[in-house]
């Protein structure tokens, strides 16, 4: 469990490893060059500033449109999860972790309980 890890550092490390591997494949003689590393870091900085959508999923269900149109205030929709099961943490629709709901300063939050490794996360995002 990596609930206390800094996810940004993990992403940066994984992306750096991937960039270094690609650079080594393209031109192994210049891999040690400081200029190449500076260019790689600049590329990484651009990627790290791209916003992504982070969402938490409590559960899912399928209902016919007829039932959807009959929903009103107070209606209850049964989901495919049991009470107390962890929520899915999604980045741009891709599962990257599980967590539990917490309240922080009167707002909902999520405590990550199980996080995929950086390599698994990158693989799923491809």
Residue among 124, 56, 46, 50 nearest 88 (CA):
56
pTM of the model: 0.54
Instruction: For tokens 């600049």, name the residue.
Output: 42
Give residue 14's pLDDT band: very low, low, confident or very high (50, 70, 90).
low
Q: Domain limits of the chain?
A: 53-125
Taking only the tens place, the pLDDT of each residue in 79-122 is: 998 888 899 998 888 888 999 999 989 998 899 999 988 888 77
**Is the C-alpha dihedral spanning 6, 50, 97, 11 positive or negative?**
negative
Of 23-32, 36-45, 54-63, 73-82, which gets the smallest average pLDDT? 23-32
**Domain 53-125, what architecture?**
Roll (2.30)
Q: What's the N-to-C CA distance of the chain in angstroms?
A: 24
């Amino acid at each position: 469990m990596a609930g206390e890890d800094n996810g940004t550092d993990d992403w940066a490390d994984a992306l750096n490893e991937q960039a270094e591997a690609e650079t080594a494949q393209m031109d192994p003689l210049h891999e040690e060059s400081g200029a190449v590393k500076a260019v790689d870091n600049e590329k990484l900085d651009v990627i790290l500033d791209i916003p992504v959508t982070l969402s938490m999923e409590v559960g899912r269900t399928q209902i016919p449109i007829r039932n959807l149109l009959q929903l009103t205030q107070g209606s209850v929709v049964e989901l495919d999860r049991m009470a107390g099961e962890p929520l899915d943490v999604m980045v741009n629709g891709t599962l990257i972790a599980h967590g539990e709901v917490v309240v922080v300063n009167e707002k909902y939050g999520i405590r990550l309980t199980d996080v995929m490794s950086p390599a698994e996360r990158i693989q799923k995002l491809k």
